[in-house]
Amino acid sequence: MSDTIFGKIISGEIPADKIYEDEHCIAINDVNPQAPVHVLVIPKRAIPKLSEATGDDQALLGHLLLVVKKLAAQLGVAEGFRVIINNGKGGGQTVFHLHLHIIGGFKMGEGMV
Ligand code: 5GP
């Protein structure tokens, strides 16, 4: 397991507001939300960033998007949300364990992140 904060959350070493878990990923509420809904979907496999994903990760990456879809519906934002993956320092990534942000609940054109 990676030594990032997300690796520690996945292993249970540090707590988080977990809203979903399956054998491949977890989803937690972001500790510093940028919108009324701000959830992070985090694979248990510790891929540092999207640009390091390989063909072996194909099924996992598809799974993560389907979890995003399911959670967006559960969170009541299915009609309007964003999925963001920050890649690398230049892309604004701060935790080097791949994760997808689900951002929603804002009025379109407001609360942009
Ligand atoms: P990045 O900038 O890497 O794409 O996003 C990292 C995100 O993780 C940020 O939105 C930040 O607020 C969130 N984050 C960092 N540490 C923690 C934590 O310990 N718990 C939770 N729930 N979110 C965290």
Any domain includes 111: no
Would you say the CB of residue 32 lies under 6 angstroms from ligand 1?
A: yes
**Based on the structure, what is the number of domains in the chain?**
1
* pLDDT over 90 at 2, yes or no: no
Tens-digit pLDDT profile for residues 96-110: 999 999 999 976 566
pTM of the model: 0.94
Q: What's the distance, Cα to Cα, between the start and end of the chain in Å?
A: 30
Is 99 assigned a catalytic role? yes
Query: Domain of 80: which CATH number?
Result: 3.30.428.10
Helices and strands in the chain: count of H runs, count of E runs: 2, 5
Catalytic residue among 38, 97, 99, 101: 99
Domain that holds residue 41: 5-104
Specify the residue with its C-alpha closest to ligand 1, atom 19: 5
Mean pLDDT across the chain: 94
